[in-house]
Amino acid sequence: MTGLVVVSHSRALADSAVALAAEMLHGSQVPIAVAAGLDATTFGTDATAIVEAIVSADDGVGVVVLMDLGSAVLSAEMALDMIDPGIRERVVLCPAPLVEGLVVAAVSAAGGATPAEVAAEAIGSLAAKQSHVNAPVPLSADADRVEERLDEGDSRDAETSASVVVKIANPHGLHARPAARLVQEARLFDAKIELRNLDTGAGPVPASSLSRVATLGALCGHRVELTATGSQAREALDHVVALANRRFDEQESVTPSGSEVSPGDRAPETPMPASPGIAIGPALSMRAADIEVPDETPQDQETEWRRVRAAVAKVRREIQRIRAKAARDGGESEARIFDAHLMLIDDTDLLEAVRSGIASGAAATRAWADAIADVEAEFANVSDDYLRSRALDVHAVGQQVARSLAGAPTPRIEGDGVLIADDLVPAQVADLDTSRVTGLVLASGSPTSHSAILARSRGIPAVVGAGSVVLDVSPGTTVALDGTTGRFFVDPDNETLRELRAADQDAHAKAALAKAEALAPAVTVDGVEILVGANVGSVDDAQAAAGDGAELAGLVRTEFLYLGRDNAPTVDEQVETYRALADALGGRRLTLRTLDVGGDKPLPYAPQPPEANPFLGMRGIRLALMQGDLFDAQLRAFVTVAHETPVSVMFPMVSTLHELEHAQHRLDEAITDVGRGRPEALQVGIMVEVPAAALKAAAFAPHIDFFSIGTNDLTQYALAAERGNSAVAALGDPLDPGVLRLIESVCRAADGRCLVAVCGELAANESATPLLVALGVRELSVAPTSVAAIKHAVRHIDQVVDSDLVRRCLTAAGPSEVRDILG
């Protein structure tokens, strides 16, 4: 019997289509195999999986392959190149619509039709639907008629064209990862989408090509026009607009936290800190020099093209293997780095360029090397630093395929020590054996490169951008690096080695000690207990925090429940999540911050008018108060959980007393709605993120139980330095005496009447702990990984009252003077 294979970007879609087709078979058994998605939930197609599916569906009669869109077709073609020629000749790639085609094909295969007959039936499968909606399309399924239908389809497409302008809200613009999401999603529609950057005039470029989209140079705030044509033009645009509103599902900033890099000050070829920690050891080198493109005599075009596809398929499998490893080691957000690489090697424009290189007489390796060099050059010419550094990713992936084409060996690391390389593909960083490679020095690269991000998540101390001179260090030479400060030494003298070793030992001993006593309370030497809590966004965070001694969740970023979805979670869903958080924390207090969206975190289902300065616009409590149901539903969920476990409700971005009163009134209404009276342990507080709120804290104090200072936003507003803008990153320093004075103002106004907490990143700075405590802060809420260290720092404070320390820091000239005082 003819077998069927369903190739789709989505496993769920393919499984459902097969279930639907099975309904029509009334018990007949047609061999149907699925090759869909990179796993159960990740969109993508894989030629190797398609080969396996074909082999399993083939019982000797032949197989018809039905595909969804774009790269599904490309992957199916690649699968044919890879499969045993004996099987290949009985396989038909069928251009029928996936769902209708599969249903018709299954019925026809069950009736004993040959693969050619099954394919022809499937191609005509839209007939019933077309005649029902009176579409002027021929009903027969022969090849000429199919052409006609496609032509007519095209002319209909031209009529259904639409355009829309979106503003890019991602801090680093439309760089590789968000661009990869855009390309992934745009390919799912029967529509051709083109993009133009209205701010630079770049484009139009097709949304189906990662290499072209990323070179639009679309930075944060740029307006990008999307024009779609095709039968699903509108749906495609609606979908992409929703995606853009979700910042292309990019939720984390890729700027390294705590980095001391000051881009403006950096001398060329000065190493930059990329991943904290100290590493000392013999230099290891990895022969990562670019391969010389061999002088091959091309065979026939088909053979050369097949070589390219085979090499791409091999590298794709390798990247998928590393992606799975990265997901296990560092979580899904680290693993997404590789999605951009996967998109790049399947990029239709890139492969088209390779193909035309082959058509003009080049051998596979030369055609590939030329096409990838063009893409790399486009990236390298973009004005934005971050986007420009993506050229390194393109280069690295290009080298992987070129090596495979030329049969060059994969570079290997010999021995144990500090690895020095020009640059590493993220895959190589993810694959490093951390028991052997104790540090990393890259001649090129930047702290925001994906390799640096991975080094940080894997705990490998690293400096990057050290210049090509480091490549001359002979293997075996002792080298040392400090990934916190960016210092790098070749053959360091004994004194330097002693200093670095001592610092390293201290850091390790401190971490071990902190961990050993993590569960004990954090009490200063003079007997004052400081609450150390955790900032959590997920149940995993809460579990990790409880294990490391967190006494409460000092900040639950509830917006993580709302972002990345097309509709709001129900009250029941929210209650369930907050309950799970409380359980993970062993019933300790949850500080639930009300929805903090708007600005850089738009919500698709809470539409806002476009704003010139979103950080100064409708965000936090301002937006929440404008939202009827969304805010009220959240408050009802809070109140429900507050009847079961201690809850503090915290309002973000409060600027005026009127906002607080308004928010409290809505909370009272929620208490009435829930109908069980005011929960006994319910507390209410505000985040202090707006400088004016800090200065008039006394006006708020009588009305609340606590202040929680959000130093991340407070710093950006106090110093007029947007937190996502790397150009002003060095200005936005929370140790600036101007920011410290605002914190002092809050503590003074609270005057023991209500608790003052700090939940911004400053709370995790151990050297600032004595100062914050001396100012009057009594709760510090930090990332789960910092809880133990901050508790440890508290235990080393001799006396909470230290007016001399406070005076010296508040009157210091700037943040570096404050750092000197704090030591």
Site residues for Mg ion per CB under 5 A: 689, 710, 713
Count residues binding ligand PEP (CB under 6 A).
Answer: 10
CB of 643 to Mg ion, least distance (A): 28
Q: Do 436 and 414 touch, CB atoms closer than 8 A?
A: no
Which of helix, strand or coil describes residue 456?
helix
Among ligand PEP, Mg ion, none, what does residue 557 contact (CB within 5–8 Å per kind)? ligand PEP
The entry of ligand PEP, Mg ion, none that residue 759 binds, CB within 5 to 8 Å by partner kind: ligand PEP
The residues pairing with 651 across neighbouring beta strands, listed in sequence order, are 686
How far from the centroid of its chain's Cα atoms is residue 550's Cα? 26
Question: Do 348 and 208 touch, CB atoms closer than 8 A?
Answer: yes
Under 8 Å between Cβ of 535 and 554: yes
Nearer Cβ to ligand PEP, position 94 or 759? 759
Q: Which of residues 691-710 bind ligand PEP (CB under 6 A)?
A: 710
Q: Which is nearer to ligand PEP, 518 or 780 (CB)?
A: 780
Tell me: does residue 725 bind ligand PEP (CB under 6 A): no
Q: Which residues pair with 228 in a beta bridge?
A: 162, 193
Rounded to whole angstroms, the Cα distance separating 499 from 495 reads 6
Determine if 759 is a binding residue for ligand PEP (CB under 6 A): yes
- Nearer of residues 462 and 714 to Mg ion, judged by Cβ: 714
Closest approach of ligand PEP to the CB of residue 760, in Å: 3
Q: Is 763 in the site for ligand PEP (CB under 6 A)?
A: no
Q: Closest distance between ligand PEP and the C-beta of residue 46, in Å?
A: 37
Chosen residue from 712, 728, 799, 821 binding ligand PEP by CB under 6 A: 712
Q: Which is nearer to Mg ion, 537 or 710 (CB)?
A: 710
Of 102, 101, 100, nearest to 30 by C-alpha is 102
Q: Which is nearer to ligand PEP, 712 or 799 (CB)?
A: 712
Strand-pairing partners, residue 278, are 482
State CA 389 to chain mean position distance.
17
Contact partner at residue 400 from Mg ion, ligand PEP, none, CB < 5 to 8 Å by partner kind = none
- Find the Cα–Cα–Cα–Cα dihedral 594, 598, 602, 607, rounded to 10°: 100
Q: At closest approach, how far in Å is the CB of 171 from ligand PEP?
A: 13
Q: Which does 130 bind (CB under 5 to 8 A by kind): Mg ion, ligand PEP, none?
A: none
SS3 per residue for 162-210:
EEEEEECCCCCCCCHHHHHHHHHHHCCCCCEEEEEECCCCCCCEECCCH
Instruction: Out of 711, 726, 745, 765, point to the residue binding ligand PEP (CB under 6 A).
Output: 711
* Residues 120-149 as x/- pattern, contact with ligand PEP by CB under 6 A: ------------------------------
Interaction of residue 713 with ligand PEP, rule CB under 6 A: yes
Q: Which does 251 bind (CB under 5 to 8 A by kind): ligand PEP, Mg ion, none?
A: none
Site string for ligand PEP, 545-584 (x = CB under 6 A): ----------x-x---------------------------
Reduce the DSSP state of residue 678 to 3 states and report it: coil
**Residue with Cβ nearer ligand PEP (48 or 538):** 538
- Select the binding partner of residue 339 from Mg ion, ligand PEP, none (C-beta < 5 to 8 A, by kind): none
- Partner whose binding site includes residue 304, from Mg ion, ligand PEP, none (CB under 5 to 8 Å by kind): none
> Which residues, including other chains, have CB under 8 Å from residue 242's CB and lie 6 or more apart?
566, 604
Residue among 500 and 621 whose Cβ is closer to ligand PEP: 621
Q: How far apart are CB 620 and Mg ion at their closest, in Å?
A: 7
Closest by alpha carbon to 451, among 393, 538, 509, 410? 393
Segment 675 to 694, residues that bind ligand PEP, using CB under 6 A:
689
Minimal CA–CA distance to 602: which of 182, 165, 242? Answer: 242
Q: Is 760 in the site for ligand PEP (CB under 6 A)?
A: yes
* Cis-peptide into 268, omega within 30 deg: no
* CA-to-CA separations, 375 to 371, 378, 793, in angstroms, rounded: 7, 5, 50
Give whichever of 3 and 710 is closer to ligand PEP, judged by the CB atom: 710
Q: Which does 664 bind (CB under 5 to 8 A by kind): ligand PEP, Mg ion, none?
A: none
Q: Enumerate residues 430-489 that contact ligand PEP by CB under 6 A.
A: none
- How far apart are the C-alpha atoms of 772 and 239, rounded to whole Å? 46
Residue 565, classed as helix, strand or coil, is: coil
Other Cβ atoms closer than 10 A to 629: 9
Please compute, for residue 268, the number of CA atoms within 13 A of its CA located in the half-sphere on the CB side.
2
- Whose CA is closest to 65, among 84, 86, 43, 80? 80
**Site mask for ligand PEP (CB under 6 A), range 631-670, x = bound:** ----------------------------------------
How far is the C-alpha of 770 from the C-alpha of 739, rounded, in Å?
16
CB of 556 to ligand PEP, least distance (A): 10
Q: Which of 654, 641, 762 is nearest to 706 (CA)?
A: 654
Q: 596 vs 736, which CB is nearer to ligand PEP?
A: 596
Phi, psi of 608 (to 5 degrees): -130, 150
Stretch that binds ligand PEP, among 34-42, 216-224, 394-402, 711-719 (CB under 6 A): 711-719
Q: Provide, rounded to whole angstroms, the least separation between the CB of residue 711 and ligand PEP.
A: 5
Of 44 and 734, CB closest to ligand PEP: 734
String of DSSP letters for 355-399: HHHHHTT--HHHHHHHHHHHHHHHHHT-S-HHHHHHHHHHHHHHH
Cα 502 to Cα 445: distance, rounded to the nearest angstrom = 29
Q: Where are the beta strands (DSSP E) in 50-181?
A: 63-67, 91-94, 161-167
* Interaction of residue 602 with ligand PEP, rule CB under 6 A: no
Closest contact distance (angstroms) between CB of 652 and Mg ion is: 6
Our CB check for ligand PEP shows the closer of 423 and 596 to be 596
Q: Is 407 in contact with 295 (CB distance < 8 Å)?
A: no
User: Residue 121: which of Mg ion, ligand PEP, none does it interact with, CB under 5 to 8 A by kind?
Assistant: none
| HSE toward the beta carbon, residue 320, CA cutoff 13 A | 20
Closest approach, Cβ 166 to ligand PEP, in A, equals 23
State in angstroms the smallest separation of the CB of 415 from ligand PEP: 42
Catalytically active residues, by annotation: 450, 759
Which residue number, 10 or 708, has a Cβ lying nearer to ligand PEP?
Answer: 708
Q: Does 779 bind ligand PEP (CB under 6 A)?
A: no
When CB distances to Mg ion are compared, the closest residue is: 713
CB of 771 to ligand PEP, least distance (A): 17
Residue 76: which of 102, 50, 54 has the closest Cα? 50
Nearest-approach distance from CB 712 to Mg ion, in angstroms: 5
Separation CA 821–CA 814 (nearest Å): 11
Q: What residue 760 binds from ligand PEP, Mg ion, none (CB within 5 to 8 A, per partner kind)?
A: ligand PEP
Binding site for ligand PEP (CB under 6 A): 555, 557, 596, 689, 710-713, 759-760
